[in-house]
Copies of this chain bind each other. A is one copy, B any other.
Amino acid sequence: MVENLFFVGFIGAAVSLLFAFFQGRKVMKYSEGSDVMKKIALAIRTGADAYIRRQYTTVAAFFVFMFIVLLVLSFIKTADGATLVNKFTPFAFLSGGFICGLCGIVGLKVATRANVRTAQAATEGLNKSLRVAFSSGTVMGFVVNGFQILEVITWYTVLKFGFKVTDEVIAQTMITFGMGVSVMAVFARVGGGIFTKAADVGADLVGKVEAGIPEDDPRNPAVIADNVGDNVGDVAGMGADLHQSNSGALVATVAIGFAAGYGVAGMLLPIIVCIIGVLMSIVGTFFVRTKEQTDQKTLLNALRRGVFIAGGLAAIGTLPAILFIARNAENAGRMSEFAYGIFGAVIVGIVSGFIISFLTEYYTSDASKPTRELADASKTGSATLIIGGLSLGMRSVTLPMLTISGAVLAAFFVSGGYADFNIGLYGIGLAAVAMLATNAIILATDAFGPVADNAGGIAEMAKLPHEVRERTDALDSLGNTTAATGKGFAIASNAFTALVLLVNYVNLVNTKLEAAGRELLDLSVINPPVLIGFFCGVAMVFYFSALCISAVQRAAMKIVDEVRRQFREIIGLLEGKEGVQADYATCVDICTKGALKEMIAPTLIVIGSPILAGLILGPAGVVGFLAGTVLAGFALAVFMLNSGGAWDNAKKFIERGNLGGKGSDQHKAAVIGDTVGDPLKDTAGPSFNNVMVLATTVAIVFSGVAIAFSLIK
């Protein structure tokens, strides 16, 4: 039986995790360099580990609380005899959070060991240091993808063959699993994002702007905190984020596959697509190599070659898989009828992912017009530069929104949406899965950026020769460019996923209402609860952003005060007197406390508001709420990511000697622009990846509660 192909999933997961393991071993074989370097790396690692331990403890407490809530709900029966949530829900929730957290930790462990090795390798050449950094990135990429496959298959095996439950229960459990993943991801993104940007902004404002010392100068008391931040935010946070993106797309597609009548085949197909993606990503990594002496452009091309080859091969490989499954699976409904259409949706997904990435790069790369013009605005000072960046960010929302809406429509129709609504939705879901199938290599080309950034910090602090820093800077800047691709894929796939989950919610509620003999949902835009829901969804998105940004601002201001204090009170520090050392630990502590305290409110708001909307406005209001959240969330995310990215690159453009170069008034203006952009692009903006999916999964998990207890029926 073709259904047994399913167990191939375990092999796929194993391959992915083993590949990650060997890449990790490879990284560890490189030299850590001198004792000074080891000592600095240890300080960074200790700070990062300490933060993550405290963050996970806080999050664990919340998971226990939610576990109890879900457990209680799983015992409460409604009028029709069903419980408010199924009995697997609490456990699925816990396991999702656990796995997602694990992805973050693995990434962090590797990154905090790879950073110093990358710095040491950079003493020998650009290519070697790229290999170390890139290998550490692949570890995270393949861990994320491996776990994603493993978790879905394991739950399926347990539920289907262990407990022999219905497909509907499987779908619901998977979505709860996705909710657990999303909760963890939002905590990690927000907490890590606050930490890293508070340190970054604080360090830059006093160090670069006021004292005029270089970035990562060991005299700066916030320098260790800044480097710790790269790890807890850009590595652990991003790992959790992207694991969530992958899992979200997968569980949404699996869940809608049942509604589309595709049965087990509907579940098998996305898993096979993921496995193909993993295999092709492995192939892709072998193309990421250049000759020993090389320049940055060649490196960029090497990275791009890897990503494109993996994406292309995966796209091609998907067709036979679809045809095989569609033709041979039993009970696959009309899948064989729409096989080529489903493949069309896959292509739509991959292509639209690349388009959004291209647009992100177009708006933020200093090689293209918008960012060049933005850099030009620094001539008239920071005010026009900031006005220009805000306007650039707003403008950059337009085309991605039109692309996403066009792509969603296209995926829907080609995959069979004209014949059956849920079949079309399955196409959208599969498009999201396909977009992320080669995420392992995309993530690898993305995750080495913070490692290189850290390596640069270590090089600076350990006073390694000038060319070492130049090489790590080149890698860092390379990472910034390739990161645009990762960001584009992540936001696009999550928009797809959230829309699929939104419709999944509607299906689910309507099924329950029908069973209870009640009227189906009136989802008309002009139905008051729907309209009010919209307003509330948009309001929530703005409030969430505000909390993230102001958290960074508050913590950064504390860092500024502390750094100023140390410069003032520790005599000889700013002058760089031998033997005088800054008190790094205090700054790490300020960031840790700020992040832990301030990550809670935004996350709780995202979890609480769909539940509240359900209780007050009823399920129709929830649909409006989710639509508002997805729409405004996507728009604000793109706005913030691109404004921030463009400011960052405008600054880098000037630092490379353009428009007056480092130290000029233009540069000062650009540093302010970059600082303003930091919390937008690295704290609030990327969180929306997870927020969109978290809000929808929460709504689904608590749909029974909304139906039973809502004020407006």
Contacts and interface: CB of A to CB of B under 8 A. Distances in A.
A185 interface: no
A40 interface: no
B201 A397 contact: no
Contacts of A623: 525-526
A384 B393 CA distance: 19
Interface stretch (A214-222, A656-664, A673-681): A673-681
Contacts of A406: 532
Number of copies of this protein chain within its complex: 2
Interface string A106-129: 000000000000000000000000
Contacts of A532: 405-406, 408-409
Interface string A368-385: 000000000101111110
Nearest to A552: B387
A203 interface: no
A393 B679 CA distance: 15
Contact of A525 (B390, B397, B624, B639): B624
A339 interface: no
A98 to B, nearest CB: 33
Nearest to A380: B560
Contact of A530 (B392, B525, B556): B525
A706 to B, nearest CB: 16
Given A395-B550, A546-B395, A553-B384, A526 B506 contact: yes
Contact of A392 (B412, B536, B546): B546
A566 to B, nearest CB: 15
A603 interface: no
A377 B526 contact: no
A209 interface: yes
A523 interface: yes
A457 interface: no
Contacts of A525: 523-525, 530, 623-624, 627
Interface in A215-245: none
Given A525-B523, A550-B395, A623-B525, A531 B402 contact: no
Contacts of A390: 549, 676, 680
A632 interface: yes
Contacts of A540: 398
Most buried by B among A201, A209, A382: A382
Nearest to A623: B525
Given A205-B380, A394-B546, A388 B538 contact: no
A391 interface: yes
Most buried by B among A379, A393, A538: A538
Nearest to A535: B405
Contacts of A561: 380
A209 B668 CA distance: 14
Interface in A4-31: none
A152 to B, nearest CB: 25
B526 A526 contact: no
Interface string A533-574: 011101110110111011011001100110000000000000
A387 B631 contact: no
A402 B503 contact: no
A90 to B, nearest CB: 30
Interface of A: 201, 205, 209-210, 377, 379-384, 386-388, 390-395, 397-398, 401-402, 404-406, 408-409, 412, 417, 499, 502-503, 506, 523-526, 528, 530-532, 534-536, 538-540, 542-543, 545-547, 549-550, 552-553, 556-557, 560-561, 623-624, 627-628, 631-632, 635, 639, 672, 675-676, 679-680
26 contacts: A201-B387, A380-B561, A381-B560, A382-B382, A383-B675, A384-B556, A386-B676, A387-B550, A387-B675, A387-B676, A391-B553, A392-B546, A394-B543, A394-B545, A394-B549, A398-B539, A402-B535, A408-B532, A412-B528, A506-B526, A525-B525, A525-B530, A525-B623, A538-B635, A632-B632, A632-B635
Given A379-B557, A523-B525, A523-B526, 6 more contacts: A209-B381, A386-B676, A391-B550, A408-B528, A417-B528, A534-B627
Q: Which 10 A-B pairs have the closest CB atoms?
A: A395-B546, A394-B546, A405-B535, A401-B539, A383-B675, A391-B549, A391-B550, A397-B542, A523-B524, A380-B560
